Amino acid sequence: MPSVTIYTIFWQPPKLQTGAVAPALTATYRNLQIRLMTDYPGHGVGNNNTQYYQTVGGVTSYVKNAGSFGGSYVDASPLPASGCNDSATPGNCITDAQIQTEIKKVVASKNWHGGPGTIFFLYTVRGEGSCFDSSSTSCAYTAYCAYHGAVSGTTPIIYANMPYGDPANCQTPGTPSPSGDPAADTAATSASHELTESITDPLLNAWFTAGGAEIGDLCAYNYGTNTWDGAKANQMWSGHFYELKQEYNNHVNMCVQIGP
C-alpha cells in the first residue's frame, strides 16, 4: 500500500451476547486509537515501510510512508448471535465472517470506499471475543491479539480485527503506559503492528517469511529503547507519545524503531 487512508469503527452494542451490559469504550480508549491513526503516516516506525515495494507490469513502486486518517464511526448496533466459542470470553464471540459483515455494513452506510489504499479497523468492547471461524480453534487472547485480512473482489476491503486491548494477555508484563490507560495502549501497539503489516502485506500474498511471519510478527513485543516521556514511550509523533512494537528492517536484518 504505497499510501494509505485509515478508518476506525468502534462497535459499541448495548449488550454482549450473554445479555450482560456491554462495557463502554472510554473516550481515552477511542481517542488514542484515532490519534495513533492520524499520526502514523509520515512518522516513526512507518519510515521502515519505505524499503518494501511491489512490481506490477514491470513497474516497481515503493511504500511512501504517506496517507491520512479518513474518519471514525461508533456503531451501537446489537451484536449477532455468538458464532464461535472463545474460551477467554465465554458466550461472547464473533467469527471473522461476522466481522467482515459488520465492516461492509458500516462502509456502505457511511458511503466510505474500499480499495488497495484503504484500511478499516474494527474495535470491539471488553468481554467480546472472536475466533477465525465456528471451529473455535484460533481465537482472541489465546491465539492472537489482533489480525488483518482482506475481503477479495474488484474493490477489496482491507481490514483489521481489533479485540479489546487486554494487557494481561496482549502485553509484556511491566510495559509502560504513556496514556495512563494500559488497555488503550495495548490496543494501540496492536493497531500499529497490524497497520504496518497491512501496508507491507495487504492481501496476505506479499511480504512475509517462508514460515508465514510478517514484519511485525518477527518483532512481536520487542520495543527497543524507551527514549521519550520519561522512559514510558519509544515513539514521539506530533508531540504525542506511544509505546509501539518494532518492525523488521531488511537492510540491517533486525527489528527497529525507525526505518532507513
**Residue 110 cell numbers, joined:** 457511511
User: Does residue 203 surpass a pLDDT of 90?
Assistant: yes
User: Does residue 46 surpass a pLDDT of 80?
Assistant: yes
- In this prediction, residue 258 has a pLDDT band, given cuts at 50, 70 and 90, of confident
User: Does residue 259 surpass a pLDDT of 90?
Assistant: no
- The values of phi and psi at residue 142, to 5°, are -110, -35
User: Does residue 194 surpass a pLDDT of 90?
Assistant: yes
Q: Determine the 3-state secondary structure of 93 from DSSP.
A: strand
% residues pLDDT > 70 (the chain): 100
Lowest mean pLDDT across 41-50, 62-71, 76-85, 169-178: 41-50
Alpha carbons 79 and 6: distance in angstroms, whole number:
24
Per residue in 146-180, is it b (16+ CB within 10 Å) or e — as a string? bbbbbbeeeeebbbbbbbbbbbeebbeeebbbbbe
Which residues make Cβ contacts (< 8 Å) with residue 212, sequence separation at least 6?
A: none
pLDDT for the residue numbered 32: 98
- In this prediction, residue 62 has a pLDDT band, given cuts at 50, 70 and 90, of very high
User: Does residue 59 surpass a pLDDT of 90?
Assistant: yes
User: pTM surpassing 0.75?
Assistant: yes
Q: Report the length, in residues, of the chain.
A: 260
Q: How far is CA 15 from CA 21, 85, 252, in A?
A: 4, 17, 48
Q: Percent helix, strand and coil across the chain, each rounded to 5?
A: 25, 25, 50
pLDDT for the residue numbered 156: 95
- In this prediction, residue 210 has a pLDDT band, given cuts at 50, 70 and 90, of confident
Please classify residue 89 by burial: count the beta carbons closer than 10 Å to its beta carbon, then call 0-12 exposed, 13-18 middle and 19+ buried.
buried
Alpha carbons 113 and 80: distance in angstroms, whole number:
24
Handedness of CA 248, 175, 234, 128 (dihedral sign): positive
Closest among 6, 19, 10 to 124, alpha carbons compared:
10
User: Does residue 260 surpass a pLDDT of 80?
Assistant: no
Average pLDDT over residues 31-41: 97
**Mean confidence (pLDDT) of the chain:** 96
**Residue 92 cell numbers, joined:** 461472547
